[in-house]
Chain A
Amino acid sequence: MQGSTRRELLLGSGASAAALLLAVHAAEATPESLQAAIRNVTGKAEIGKGKVTLDIPPLVENGNTVPMSVSVESPMTATDYVKTIYVFNEKNPQPNVVAIHLGPYAGKADVSVRVRLADSQRVVAIVELSDGSFWSTTANVIVTVAACLEGNL
Chain B
Amino acid sequence: MMARVLVNVPPKAQRGEIIQIKTLISHIMEPGFRASHEGKILPRDIITEMTCVYNEKEIFRIELSPAVASNPFITFHTRANESGTFDFKWTGDNGFEATASAKITVE
Contact = CB atoms under 8 A, between A and B. Distances in A.
A108 B18 contact: yes
Q: How many B residues are at the interface, by size bracket? A: 20 to 34
B95 to A, nearest CB: 21
Contacts of B18: 107-108
B36 to A, nearest CB: 5
B37 to A, nearest CB: 6
A98 B77 contact: no
Nearest to A110: B77
B83 interface: no
Nearest to A109: B77
A115 B65 CA distance: 9
Given A93-B33, A116-B31, A152-B36, A111 B73 contact: no
B72 A113 contact: yes
B12 interface: no
Interface in A93-117: 93-94, 96-103, 105-117
B6 interface: no
Given A65-B70, A102-B60, A107-B18, A96 B77 contact: no
Contact of B62 (A101, A114, A116, A147): A101
Given A66-B69, A152-B42, A113 B79 contact: no
5 contacts: A94-B66, A111-B75, A115-B67, A115-B69, A116-B66
